[in-house]
Amino acid sequence: MFKGGWFKLYALVYLTFLYAPIILLPLFAFNDATVIAFPLSGFTTHWFTEMLADPTLKQAVKNSLIIAVSSAVIATTLGIFASRASTRYEFPAKGGIMGLIMLPLVLPEIIVAVSLLVVLLGLGVNLSILTVILGHVLICTPFTIAILSSAFQSLDKSLEEAAYDLGETPASTFRLIILPLVMPGIISSLLISFTISLDEFIIAFFLAGTEPTLPVYIFSQFRFPSAVPVIMALGTILVCLSILLLTIAEIFRRRGIAKSGGKDTGGFL
């Protein structure tokens, strides 16, 4: 169709715009020059070896991994409670409670960061990896609920009732029937929260104290032009890693929806 053809062309141009920065990344990561500009001067893997030799970077990666894993587990657990409650039960003030929990989705992150900082310092809490986790759980939870709700939503209530009729308790029903059915959703939500936390900058910037996360480290390196090619190498690895994690998450998300008999309505958000 001619009309569809124009739309398709536009969509492809738009995708090119979306991917433009990501396509440039490996070009500069393998470019043999300290200045990030065209024309390219030659191929090198020097930036990758230099990256591996940096002890500050290693520490930042370690901090980020601890934070991302903890945030993903805690946020997904909180997400399971909230999405199960909101899809299965009617209760007073449901809209208000869910609104508050989902608020970080639209609230500027700087507001979350500043308000948490003020409270934590007011209470005399020292800034550390732990305080970053507190903030990251807050911003990851709405995303886990978005994913998990669609998993719980497509669950057939009669399966649960059948289990009760056969003498299972609510706890064993949850473990034996519901959990296996929503498991793909849980895995998908863990991976998404991990990716969000690993990439999050502003909350970590405010709450990390003296223990930089990976994005905080990257941001600090932007001030030194000579450090930028190493960051491009690091970025290339990060982009590959997040594409891999997202692809796995997407596979699990689709499998979960198929498993519980629902209809696929779209992406993660």
Partner 1 sequence: MDSGNGTGRFFRTESGAGLALISPTAIYALLMLAAPLGAILLYSVFKDGYLEIIREFTLANYIEAWTNELYRQVMIRSLFVSLSVTVVTVLLAFPVAYFVSFHVAPSRKSLWLFLITIPFWTSYLIRVFLWKVILGYNGVVNSGLLWTGIIDEPLQWINYNVGAVVTTLAHAYAPFAILPIFVALEKIDRSLLEAGQDLGESKFRTFLRVTLPLAMPGVVASVLIVFIPTIGDYVTPQLIGGPEGRMVANLIQLQILKLDNYPLGSAIAVSAMAIVTAISLLFLLMTRRYLKGPK
Q: Are 201 and 136 spatial neighbours (Cβ–Cβ below 8 Å)? A: no
Contact with partner 1 (CB under 8 A) among 66, 69, 73, 97 = 97
24 binds partner 1 per the rule CB under 8 A: yes
The count of other CB atoms within 10 Å of the CB of residue 136 is 28
Where does this chain touch partner 1 (CB under 8 A) — which range of 51-59, 60-68, 106-114, 182-190? 106-114
Site for partner 1 in 191-210 (CB under 8 A): 192, 195-196, 199, 201-202, 205-206
Query: What is each CA distance from 164 to 15, 37, 157, 261, in whole angstroms?
Result: 49, 66, 11, 21
Give the CA-trace dihedral at 212, 214, 215, 221, to 10 degrees. Answer: 80
- At closest approach, how far in Å is the CB of 158 from partner 1? 18
**# residues contacting partner 1 (CB under 8 A):** 95
Per CB under 8 A, the list member of 60, 116, 140, 163 interacting with partner 1 is 116
The stretch among 50-58, 61-69, 117-125, 180-188 that binds partner 1 (CB under 8 A) is 117-125
Among 103, 179, 248, 258, indicate the residue that binds partner 1 (CB under 8 A): 103
Q: Distance between CA atoms of 201 and 195, rounded to whole angstroms?
A: 12
Please give the single-letter amino acid code of residue 244.
L
Q: How far is CA 209 from CA 54, 80, 138, 202, 205, in A?
A: 20, 31, 18, 12, 8
Which SS3 state, helix, strand or coil, does residue 26 take? helix
- Asked if 163 interacts with partner 1 (CB under 8 A), we say no
Span near partner 1 by CB under 8 A; candidates 52-60, 99-107, 155-163, 180-188: 99-107
- 90 binds partner 1 per the rule CB under 8 A: yes
DSSP state of 75: H
User: Is residue 40 within 8 Å of 33, Cβ to Cβ?
Assistant: yes
| 218, 229, 252, 256: residue in contact with partner 1 (rule CB under 8 A) | 218
Stretch of 42-50, 53-61, 115-123, 182-190 lying at the interface with partner 1 (CB under 8 A):
115-123
Helix (H, G, I), strand (E, B) or coil at 37: coil
CA distance 163 to 175: 11
| Minimum CB–partner distance for residue 179 and partner 1 (Å) | 12
Residue 219 lies near partner 1 (rule: CB under 8 A): yes
> Of the two residues 49 and 172, which places its CB atom closer to partner 1 in the complex?
172
Q: Does 107 bind partner 1 (CB under 8 A)?
A: yes
Within positions 46 to 75, which residues make up the interface with partner 1, using CB under 8 A?
none
Cα(67)–Cα(195) distance, rounded to whole angstroms? Answer: 11
Residue 258 touching partner 1 (CB under 8 A): no
